[in-house]
Amino acid sequence: MSPRNDVVLAGERLTKYFGGSPALKDVSFRVEQGEILGLIGPNGAGKTTLLNVISGILTPSAGRVLFQDRDITGMRPHAIARLGVARVLQTPRPFLSMTVLENVEVGALFGGRDRRGKTSTAVDQAEFALRLMGLHDKRDHPVGSLNLQEKKMVELGRALAMGPEVTLIDEAMSGLNPAEIEDSMRLIQRVRDELKVTIVWVEHVMKAIMGAAERVMVLNYGQVIAGGSPGEVARDEGGSRGRTGSCPCSGT
Amino acid sequence: MARYATLLLVGVILALVPLTTGGSPYYSRITTLMLVLMVYAVAFNMLFGHTKQLFLCLGALAGSSAYLSVVLTRELGLSPWATIPLGILVAGFLGGLFSYVSVRRGLGVIFLGVVTLAFSLIFYNLVLGLRELTNGETGIVTQGLGAGILEGPRSSYYMLFALLMIALVLYSALMSSRVGVAFRALSDDELTAELAGIDVTRYKVIAATVGSLLMGAGGAFYAYYTGLISPALFSLISVDIVVLITLVFGGMGSLVGPVLGGAAVTVIDELVRPFGQLNVLVYGALLIVLFLAFRGGLVAVLRKTAKLPIP
Amino acid sequence: MVPILIDGIVYGLQLSLLAVGITLIYGLGGVLNLAHGQFAVVAGVAAALLMGNGMGAAPASFLGVAAAGIFGLLIDRSLLVPAYRYRGEERLLLGLVLTLGLSFVIDGYLNLSHPNVSLTIRLPMPSLTVLGITIRSAAVVTSLLAILAFGLLFLFLRGTLLGKAIRSIIQNEVGAELCGISPSRTRTLIVALSGLLAGLAGVAQGLFSSLGTEMGVEFTILALIVAVVGGVRSINGTFVAGILLGVVNALASYYMGAYVTLIILLGAAMLTILIRPSGLLAYWT
C-alpha cells in the first residue's frame, strides 16, 4: 500500500543527559518504510541509548520521536511496542519459566496486531514466527536450555510475533561465530523481505551490517557524524579516521 | 482443567472438615481461623508469589477494612452490610495505590516492603491513638451479622469456606486468562514483559488490588466472626509474618500452596502450643529448616512424590 | 529550639548507629538482615549478665559488644551460607526468610532463658551543662560513641586496602572476585563488623534508658526504616537518614506529642522513600 520512501520512524533533535554529560546530542534521523538502517559507532557512542529512547525505556531530555507521524515521546514501552515498534535487546532476557513457544506467544498475545491479514490465534502467530526463526523443532523446550544464538532468535521471534512495523535490533551478532553471523544476516534480510518489517539495526560486526543494510548512520559521542549508503560511509570513514579515533567497530 | 479438578477436590475436603471435628467449639474455632489464614495466603500469593510485590501491611489492610466497618457501624448506626463492602473497597484501593505508586516510582522489592511496613505501623498506632473510636488496646466487641450469618460455629465455618472458595475461583480464573500469562511474564523479567507489550504497571496494580480486596474481605469476615477486635489481631507479627510463613511453606505461585500452607501452619501451631513460651523459638527453627529443606514448599514435594502436575 | 535539635541529633545518631549494620550487610552481602535488632539485644543481654556477676559497666559493655560481633561471625559462617549460593533476588528472599527465622529463635530463646534481664548503665554524673544548655551525660557519651564508630568506619573504608576492597565489592561482586578479592571472607568480616555496630547501639540504649530482651523486633524495624530511607546501599545515606529522622522525631514529639509523633516519623520515612526512591544522597555519592 504505502510506497517506499515513506518515513515510518523519525527522531527530531533527540538529546539525553545522564548527569552532566550528554549521551545523545541533537540526534535527528529518518527511517523509511521497508529499509534496513544500520546504526554503527564505537562503544559508548550512544547507539543503545538511542534505541532505548525510541522504545520508551528512557525519556529524552529534549527532542521528539515520531512513529508514522505520531509523537510517541514519553510513552511507556509497552504502548510503543503495541503501536508497532518492537525491540530486541542485546543480551537475551527470555522468560525463564516458559518454553520456547510460550516465550514467543507472549509477544503475539500482548503486542499482537496480526500482520498476516487473517484472524489467527496467538499460538498460530507464535508458531509462524518460530518456523521463520528455525526453532520450531524446539518449541516445547524450556527456553533456558537453548544456546546463545537460539536465545537471540527467541527474542527476535517474540518481537516478530507482535506483528511490528519497525523492529529495533541491538547487536544481533555479538558472541556469534562466523557461520551463525551469516545465518542471522540472511534471516534479518528475509524478515524484511517477507514480513515487510522495517529494521533499525545496531551492530558491531561491520561485515554483517555492510552486507545487509541499505543505509548506515554513524554515531560518536552521542552525535550523528556520518550517514549514507554503506559504501559512502566506508569511504568517509577511511578519509576521516582521525575524527572517530581508532574505531573499534571494525570487527570481523 | 487440572486447576478446576483440584479446586473441586480442595472444596470437598474442606467442606467435610466440620464433620470430623465433631461439635468441639475449640476445633471449630481453630479450623475457621485456618480458613481465614488461607484466604490471606491466597491474597499474598497474588501480591508476592506472582508479582513479587512484598507487601508488609497485610494485617493493616485486613485491619483497615475490619475497623472501618465495625467503627462506622457502631458510631453511625449503619448496617454492617453497607460498611463491609466499604471496608473491603478501601483496602483494595489502598493496596492498588501502594502498588501504583511503587511501580511508577520504580521502587525495588525492599523499598516497597518498607513503605508498606511503615503504613502497617502507622495503622497500628492510629488504632491505638484514636481511643475514642477504637477503644485502643482493649478493642471493640463484635457480633455476627444476624440471620445465622457469622453466628454460631458451623455457619461461620461455611461463610469463611465460601469466601475461600470465591478467592480460589477468582485466582484460578485470573491465572487461566491472559492476566495469568502477564503475571508469569512480568515475574520472570519486567523489562522483557514491558517490551512484549505487557502493561506491567497495570497488571501489578491488578494483582495488588485483587489481593488487597481479599485481605479486606478476610479481615471484615474475621472481625464479625471473632467477637472482639483489637489491634493485636492485625499486627505485623500476627498476620504478615504468619502469612509469609504459610505461603512459603505451602508453595509460592501455586493454587494449592496457600491451602496446604494454611493447613500445615495450623497443625504446627497446635503441636507447638503445649511448649508455651518455647513456641516462638520452635517456629523460627522450623522456618529455617523447612525453607532450607524444600524451597518450593509442600506443593513441590507433592508434585515430586505424586509425579502430578499439581496447579 | 536548640535543645530540641540537640535531642533530635542525639537520637538520630543512635538511629544511624543501629541502622548502618543493615546497610553494610545489604550492600556487601545482598542480604537484608531481619535479625539485626536481635544482635543489639544479644550484646545488651551479655553485658547485663556480666554486670550481674559483678563486672564493671565498661568491661562488661565491651565484652557484650564483642559477643555480638562474634555472634555475627558465626551466623555468617553457618546460617547464611545457603543464601550466599544464590545471587540477586533469590539470595535476598532466602536471606529474608533465614534471618527472620533467626530473629524468632533469638527472641524465643532470650525470653525463655533470661526473661527478666535488662541492661541499664548509670553514669556517675547524670548531666552536664555546656554554654547554658543542660544535657544528659548519657546523651553525650552515646553520641561520642556513635561519632567515634562512624569515624572509624569511614577511615576503615576510605583509608585501608581492605576497606577499598569492600567498597569495590559493594559496587560489583563478580568484578571484585575477578580482581582476586575474596567476597566470602570480606563478607564474614562485614557481618561481624555489623554485629559489633549493632552491639554498640544496644549498649547505647542501655546507657540511654534501658534495654530489654523483647526489644529486638522494634530495633530491627527502626533500623530497617532508617537504612532504606538512606538508600540501603549508602553508608553516608544511612547516617544522614538517621539524623533526619531523629530530628523529625524530636520536633514532632515536642510540638505534637504522644502517638502522633510515631505516625509523623513513619510518614516522613514513607515520603522520603517515595520522593527519593534511590536514597537521600542518590545524586551526590
The 8 Å CB, 24+ separation contacts for A232-236 are: A233/A40, A234/A210
Which residues share a beta bridge with B290?
A: none
Indicate the residue of B188, B191, B198 with minimum beta-carbon distance to A97: B188
Distance between CA atoms of C200 and C39, rounded to whole angstroms? Answer: 10
CA-based nearest distance B11→chain A, Å: 29
Per-residue cell: A107: 509477544
Backbone angles phi, psi at C13, to 5 degrees: -60, -40
Domain that holds residue A244: 1-84+165-252
B301 located within any domain: no
Tell me the percentage of chain B whose pLDDT exceeds 90: 58
CA-based nearest distance C30→chain B, Å: 11
Radius of gyration of chain A, Cα coordinates, nearest whole angstrom: 18
Per-residue cell: A205: 560486526
CA A218-A223-A228 angle, to 5 degrees, is 30
B263 located within any domain: no
**What digits encode the pLDDT tens for the residues B151-187?**
778 888 999 999 999 999 999 999 999 999 999 999 8
- Judged by CB atoms closer than 8 Å, whether chains meet at B279 and C101 is answered as no
Per-residue cell: C74: 558465626
Give the confidence band of B237 by pLDDT, cuts at 50, 70, 90.
confident
Per-residue DSSP letter, C256: T
**What digits encode the pLDDT tens for the residues A83-113?**
999 999 988 999 999 999 999 999 988 986 5
Radius of gyration of chain B, Cα coordinates, nearest whole angstrom: 19
* C106 contact residues in B (CB cutoff 8 A): 284
Domain boundary among A106, A140, A164: A164
Distance of CA C21 to the CA centre of its chain: 5
A157 and chain B: CB distance < 8 Å anywhere?
no
Indicate the residue of B114, B283, B286 with minimum beta-carbon distance to C273: B114
B245 located within any domain: no
Do A251 and A171 share a structural domain?
Answer: yes
Which residues share a beta bridge with A10?
A: A30, A66
A149 located within any domain: yes
C-beta neighbour count of B157 within 10 angstroms: 22
User: Rounded mean pLDDT of A1-10?
Assistant: 70
pLDDT at position C111 is 87
User: How many Cα atoms are found within 13 Å in the side-chain-facing hemisphere of C169?
Assistant: 25
CA-based nearest distance B283→chain C, Å: 7
Any residues with CB less than 8 A from the CB of A131 and at least 6 apart, and which? none
The type of residue at C170 is I
* B248 contact residues in C (CB cutoff 8 A): 97
CA-based nearest distance B168→chain C, Å: 25
**Between B223 and A133, where is the model more confident?**
B223
Backbone angles phi, psi at B162, to 5 degrees: -60, -45
- Judged by CB atoms closer than 8 Å, whether chains meet at C274 and B101 is answered as yes
- Judged by CB atoms closer than 8 Å, whether chains meet at B241 and C82 is answered as no
Indicate the residue of C107, C111, C228 with minimum beta-carbon distance to B111: C228
- Judged by CB atoms closer than 8 Å, whether chains meet at C225 and B118 is answered as yes
Domain that holds residue B6: 2-237
Per-residue cell: C240: 544522614
User: Rounded mean pLDDT of B288-311?
Assistant: 83
Indicate the residue of B125, B129, B248 with minimum beta-carbon distance to C97: B248
- Judged by CB atoms closer than 8 Å, whether chains meet at B285 and C105 is answered as yes
B102 located within any domain: yes
3-state secondary structure C94-156: HHHHHHHHHHHHHHHHHHHHCCCCEECCCCCCCEEEECCEEEEHHHHHHHHHHHHHHHHHHHH
Distance between CA atoms of C273 and C225, rounded to whole angstroms? Answer: 9
B232 and chain C: CB distance < 8 Å anywhere?
no
Distance between CA atoms of A140 and A133, rounded to whole angstroms? Answer: 15
B84 located within any domain: yes
Mean pLDDT per block of 10 residues along chain C (285 residues) reads 88 95 90 94 95 92 96 94 85 88 92 87 81 82 94 90 78 67 84 96 92 91 91 87 92 81 86 75 45
Indicate the residue of A57, A78, A94 with minimum beta-carbon distance to B197: A78
**What digits encode the pLDDT tens for the residues A145-192?**
998 888 989 999 999 999 899 999 998 777 778 888 888 888 888 888
**Chain B residue closest in CA terms to A89:** B192
* Contact by Cβ (8 Å): C203, C51: no
Indicate the residue of C104, C108, C263 with minimum beta-carbon distance to B126: C263
Distance between CA atoms of C155 and C175, rounded to whole angstroms? Answer: 24
Indicate the residue of C98, C104, C228 with minimum beta-carbon distance to B281: C104
Among C199, C238, C236, residue whose Cα is nearest residue C219: C199
* B182 contact residues in A (CB cutoff 8 A): 110
Mind giving me the DSSP string for C229-254? HTTSS-HHHHHHHHHHHHHHHHHHHH
Distance between CA atoms of C68 and C75, rounded to whole angstroms? Answer: 10
Interface of B with A (CB under 8 A): 178, 181-182, 184-185, 187-189, 191-201
Q: Is the pLDDT of residue A238 over 60?
A: no
- Judged by CB atoms closer than 8 Å, whether chains meet at A111 and B196 is answered as yes
* Contact by Cβ (8 Å): B110, C233: no
A84 and chain B: CB distance < 8 Å anywhere?
no
- Judged by CB atoms closer than 8 Å, whether chains meet at A111 and B201 is answered as no
B25 and chain C: CB distance < 8 Å anywhere?
no
Provide the domain count of chain A.
2
Distance between CA atoms of C37 and A118, rounded to whole angstroms? Answer: 63
Q: What's the complex ipTM?
A: 0.87
Do A70 and A169 share a structural domain?
Answer: yes
A89 located within any domain: no
Which of C26, C229, C234, C266 to substitute to test the interface with B, most B CBs within 10 Å? C266
Give the confidence band of A42 by pLDDT, cuts at 50, 70, 90.
confident
* C258 contact residues in B (CB cutoff 8 A): 129
A210 and chain B: CB distance < 8 Å anywhere?
no
Distance between CA atoms of C97 and B288, rounded to whole angstroms? Answer: 7
CATH number, domain with residue A212: 3.40.50.300
Domain residue spans of chain C: 12-216
Given a contact as 3+ CB pairs under 8 Å, which chains touch A? B
Provide the domain count of chain B.
1
Any residues with CB less than 8 A from the CB of A176 and at least 6 apart, and which? A148, A149, A152, A184
Mean pLDDT of chain A: 84
Tally C-beta pairs within 8 A across B and C. 111
Per-residue cell: A220: 560518536
Q: Which residue in the block uniquely carries the three cell numbers 544528659?
A: C136
**Chain B residue closest in CA terms to A54:** B195
CA-based nearest distance B75→chain C, Å: 23
Q: Is the pLDDT of residue B92 over 80?
A: yes
* B178 contact residues in A (CB cutoff 8 A): 109-110
Do A63 and A184 share a structural domain?
Answer: yes
Distance between CA atoms of B229 and C111, rounded to whole angstroms? Answer: 27
pLDDT at position A124 is 81
